[in-house]
Chains A and B, each alone.
Chain A
Amino acid sequence: MGGPSLATQGFRAVPSLRYLNSTPAFFFADDGTSTGGFNHDGRARTLAEQAQRPFLAPHEMANASKADVLDKVRRAAYAEELRAAFGAAILDDADAAFDRIAFALQQFQKEDPAFHPFSSKYDRFLAGKAQLSDAELRGLGLFNNPGKGNCAACHPSAKSADGASPLFTDFSYDNLGVPRNAAIAATADPAYFDMGLCGPDRTDLTARQDLCGAFKVPTLRNVATRKTFFHNGAFTTLRDVLRFYVRRDTNPEEWYPLAADGTADRFNDLPAALRGNVNTTEAPYNRKPGMAPALSDAEIEDLLQFLGTLNDDNQS
């Protein structure tokens, strides 16, 4: 919710700003995989670019214009610091100032270790300095196992060869067929579809219909502290998220509204023609109705325990 009185509804859940300092700008990898970029659809190439929109977006801070923002900044306590860093005339030119403010925000996010503390129990475990409990260890096993959770396929959990700690994202995009969230007012219009890479917010890839419905794989660090999940906030607990992953295909009626004939309206947040884009080939969402889900309820509890170890210390 945003806007001048915090009453205007937005369209997407707010992503975390943590652990973004090594995300690359959007590009297509050698094998065609969409990679990188900021925001759920990767349309901002840099943190600075991403920082600009919230100031002006009507459903966010709803400033009227860049000049409007500048008026407020000029009255702020740190106006002199800005002038000291960027020159005395900086606050006189709206475009240049706005640009530099976004730049300053970017550098703050990149440099301040508070944005990437790596202070979780899991980090200590990776260093050999802490033990995981039995349940947490089982959860890690399920997370990594390609035949069970297979989460590490998009959310890598291992250190890289150069010793860098895992970010739990490979910066790629996936199409999960998340159910339509009626709580978003815009969804009342049946013709409204938020399709991520191919639009409507992002405008440069509208021709790539094969990418419709794909959204960025976020980091899982501190995921256990979140209250809303996925780009449209369709779920409010992590347990529901995990159950969705493994039961989406085996029990679709638990997630989607039933059509007139009693079958579940699967992937109802995409136009019918594009529902084929949804990922149904990778574990754990490659099963069929009637099959057992990849994780049992007890295993989901173990996995939740493990995900809790990804919270940085000052969070949990």
Chain B
Amino acid sequence: MNALQWTAVAAGLALTPSAFAAQYLTAQQAQALIFPDATAFKDASLQLTADQMRAIESSAGLPARSAAWRVVSAWQGDRLLGHMVLDDVIGKFELISYAVGLAPDATVIQVEILAYRESHGFEIRNAAWRKQFVGKTAADKVAVGDNIANISGATLSSTHVTEGVRRIVAMAQVALKK
């Protein structure tokens, strides 16, 4: 399996690359941004067991939602650099597609917004807002109004994305942590 084919796999897990702004990044572009040193990406999509889902619920305080998660693992040679988890949440009316980059110890490295279609709240894409998640773990229980600042006029979008990250970090703690 050469690099091309694995990147194609990643692409396969990703969005339609599109010419207009609602879709800002493809999954492939996101993984490159999060793990610039990676030489290979592998599909690490997983199915959670019922026990794992319960653990996530109690850790995050949110419904575990789905047993299936799209995960890509990033490798530099034989060394695992971390994981990228792809997810969607509803903002107010529209789906927001985003990716969370996690270190092997389930700490957040980076959050990237892949697609945003609402009429308001584009500021979710600002590096400054997303940087708030860097270094957070499941124990931090990221929440708007506590350790994550709100985006004025886009409360629902910022809240739902924050909840999504909280769930992902809990999932990573339970299922991905090495």
A and B directly contacting (CB within 8 A): no
